[in-house]
Structure 1
Amino acid sequence: MAIDDLLDEHEQGQRVQDWLRRNGLSIVGGVVLGIAAIWGWNNWQASRLQSSAADNARYQAVVAQLASSDLEEAARQVKALETESSGIYVDLAALALVKAQVEAGKVEEAIAVLRGLKAEGEFQALVNQRIARLQIEAGKPAEALATLGNAQDPTSLEIIADAHVAAGDGEKARDFYTKALLALKADAPQRGLLEIKLSDVGGEVPATEDATAQ
């Protein structure tokens, strides 16, 4: 090996040592942070699992109370779950309670539970639709209309029309059934029922795009 090669290797070694002296602390710090992050993640995961297990236990308690038809105790269990958690089990327990309350004829209580859900986006729209249907069932179509507001999706438009029917306003019902049908695809499964509802209030079923094309 030539002397120049040895000097190059020595110089390279010195440069590596100098770089390590300058950056060694940051390298060690990065390793420590990485280990800490992994440790924190594992502990967070363990905490989530424990929390999920506890929520599941409370949900099962609600189901057990509903099976025994003890709606008051089930409602207390749901309230306790709501104060201690915000996961999927809260919504599942609340919806199970609502179903049991409706079946027991406790519509107002069911509406109150639905209003207490921390819903947003599409889930909030579904909750509002369910509340509106229950309000119509309870003989409060005006409240159903207020609940749905200016919603424009086909299901909400249908429920708004149902509310107008319940209020004795067939003309507005026809308008909203027609809007609901126009907002649906030609092969939508709910078209048949909507067409019957529209016909029942004296409306004419609008032609679909497929029928127009033919």
Structure 2
Amino acid sequence: MAELRTEEEQVEAIKNWWKENGRSTVIGVAVAVIAVFGWRGWQDHQRQTAENASVLYQSMVEKALVQPGQTLSEEDRKSAEYMANQLKSDYQSTGYAQYAALWLAKLQADQGKLDAAKAELKWLVEQKPEAPIAQVAKLRMSQLLLAEGDAQAALTQLGSAPEKGFEAAYFELKGDLLNALGRAAEARQAYQSAQAADSSNARPLIAMKSGDLAGAGE
């Protein structure tokens, strides 16, 4: 532009540039505007989806929870199951759907429907959840297999090492499985590992289980 000699030439150059580039510039600006507002709209949608899922999940938990010494009514159980399935179908992209699957597995297991409970846990694992949720699913699947009398399959399902924060639960269940398989000495070692990990003494039965196997392997 600095080489142009007159204002007329400058104006003409601008006209020519606009003729050649104006349309693409307008389109580019339009695309940018759409992208910005589209991104904001998507964020708003995601936020609203999470809020809706949170409300539904809270309602489900209120129906599924029972006070100590009480039993879940048939009406509340059906309501909880309905809402949990709704979370799985309508809010599958949220973590609430995964927690709902854990609740469904519990509700099914409480009714003795072990195959249905395992199906819920299998669905959960297929969603590739975060490590802590995957660990809970693995622990519960092992418990279901043990309840079916297949301690060896349960031990295989349990895996070789726990996630951080799940050591006590993992080793206690491992002790139960090894004990069911008649491997008392190994079971006692697992219980001792569980005791060492249970710094808050939240699992008082571990000491009893370990004590029952005192002398095993000696």
TM-score, normalised to structure 2, is 0.61
Q: Distance in 2 between matches of 1:105 and 1:58?
A: 23
**Aligned-pair distance for 1:190?**
7.2
1:141 paired with 2:137, answer no
Instruction: Decide whether the 8 Å contact of 1:107 with 1:134 is kept in 2.
Output: no
1:128 paired with 2:132, answer no
Choose from 186, 193, 211 the match for 1:172: 186
| Structure 1: 5+ residue stretches without partners | 205-214
CA deviation string 1:98-123 (max 9, x = no partner) = 55566x56472544433332343512
Tell me which amino acid in the other structure corresponds to 2:156: A
Structure 2 residue matching 1:79: 3-state secondary structure:
helix
1:161 paired with 2:175, answer yes
CA deviation string 1:66-110 (max 9, x = no partner) = 2563324422332233223212222233334455566x5647254
Tell me which amino acid in the other structure corresponds to 2:57: Y
Q: Distance in 2 between matches of 1:193 and 1:57?
A: 32
Tell me which amino acid in the other structure corresponds to 1:75: E
1:24 paired with 2:22, answer yes
Two-structure CA RMSD over aligned residues (Å)? 4.4
1:78 paired with 2:87, answer no
Tell me which amino acid in the other structure corresponds to 2:141: I
Q: Which entry has the higher C-alpha Rg, 1 or 2?
A: 1
Q: 1:198 to 1:8 in 2, by over 3 A?
A: farther
**Aligned-pair distance for 1:177?**
5.8
Choose from 96, 100, 104 the match for 1:89: 96
1:33 paired with 2:31, answer yes
TM-score, normalised to structure 1, is 0.62
Aligned residues: 195
Structure 1 residue matching 2:182: 3-state secondary structure:
coil
Tell me which amino acid in the other structure corresponds to 2:73: S
| Structure 2: 5+ residue stretches without partners | 66-71
Q: Distance in 1 between matches of 2:142 and 2:187?
A: 15
| Other-structure match for 1:62 | 60
**Percent identity between the aligned chains?**
26
**Aligned-pair distance for 1:31?**
0.6
Instruction: Decide whether the 8 Å contact of 1:66 with 1:97 is kept in 2.
Output: no
Structure 1 residue matching 2:173: 3-state secondary structure:
helix
Instruction: Name whichever of 134-143 and 22-31 sits farther off.
Output: 134-143
Instruction: Decide whether the 8 Å contact of 1:174 with 1:203 is kept in 2.
Output: no
Q: Distance in 2 between matches of 1:98 and 1:42?
A: 37
Q: 1:199 to 1:10 in 2, by over 3 A?
A: farther
Q: 1:199 to 1:107 in 2, by over 3 A?
A: farther
Structure 2 residue matching 1:116: 3-state secondary structure:
helix
